[in-house]
């Protein structure tokens, strides 16, 4: 096969590592100013400044998981108590209804809380990408769990590669790597 027939990938990985939070925030702002999107941020700890810079004040999508779980739990609580009362009917004195909301309210409330919490956990796991078994190796940089911050483009356009690398360097990145060099291997680990 000749070298003229070898397909050059249209995308590449780019990673910039930062020693300080303010440099990382500067890098995020400059990338957004240049309309370069599709990056992920690595951080050793949760910081509201990073969330504000990346999400621009948009609320978390996990809240919809919580609402869905709460509505689901409320319906499950109602069905559980109603179908149980219908399955084992008792003598209802004075024409009281078999399915009545006041005695079922406690069970419905508890199911609302239970399923709201479980759906929230499921939403958190889904949106954070946990577990990280299938994460790209460039996102599994052990320095980001110690004391460094990072910006990673997993599929940056080849034509934007030089521009992205320059923005990362000019914003204070201590290291900018591209391609397969974005994977950081720990010696003797």
The domains found in the chain, sorted by start residue, are: 3-58+136-182 (3.30.70.1150), 62-128 (no CATH)
CA atoms within 13 A on the CB side of 90: 8
Measured CA to CA, the distance from residue 54 to residue 4 in angstroms comes to 40
- The pTM for the full model equals 0.72
CB 176 within 8 A of CB 184: no
Q: What pLDDT is recorded for position 100?
A: 85
Q: What pLDDT is recorded for position 96?
A: 79
Q: What are the tens digits of pLDDT across the range 163-185?
A: 999 999 999 999 999 987 777 77
Measured CA to CA, the distance from residue 43 to residue 46 in angstroms comes to 7
Q: What pLDDT is recorded for position 189?
A: 55
């Amino acid at each position: 096969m000749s070298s003229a027939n070898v397909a050059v990938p249209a995308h590449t990985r780019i990673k910039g590592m930062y020693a300080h939070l303010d440099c990382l925030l500067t890098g995020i702002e400059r990338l957004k100013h240049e309309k370069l999107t599709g990056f992920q941020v690595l951080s050793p700890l949760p910081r509201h400044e990073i969330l504000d810079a990346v999400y621009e004040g948009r609320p978390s999508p996990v809240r919809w998981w919580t609402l869905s779980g709460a509505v689901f739990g409320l319906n499950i609580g109602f069905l559980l108590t109603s179908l149980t009362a219908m399955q084992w009917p008792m003598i209802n004195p004075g024409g009281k209804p078999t399915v009545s909301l006041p005695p079922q309210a406690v069970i419905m409330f508890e199911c609302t809380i239970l399923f709201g919490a479980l759906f929230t956990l499921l939403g958190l796991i889904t949106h954070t990408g946990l577990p990280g078994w299938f994460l790209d190796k460039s996102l599994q940089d052990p320095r980001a769990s110690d004391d460094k911050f990072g910006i990673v483009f997993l599929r940056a356009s080849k034509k934007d590669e030089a521009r992205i690398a320059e923005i990362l360097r000019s914003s204070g990145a201590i290291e900018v790597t591209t391609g397969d060099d974005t994977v950081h291997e720990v010696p003797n680990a």
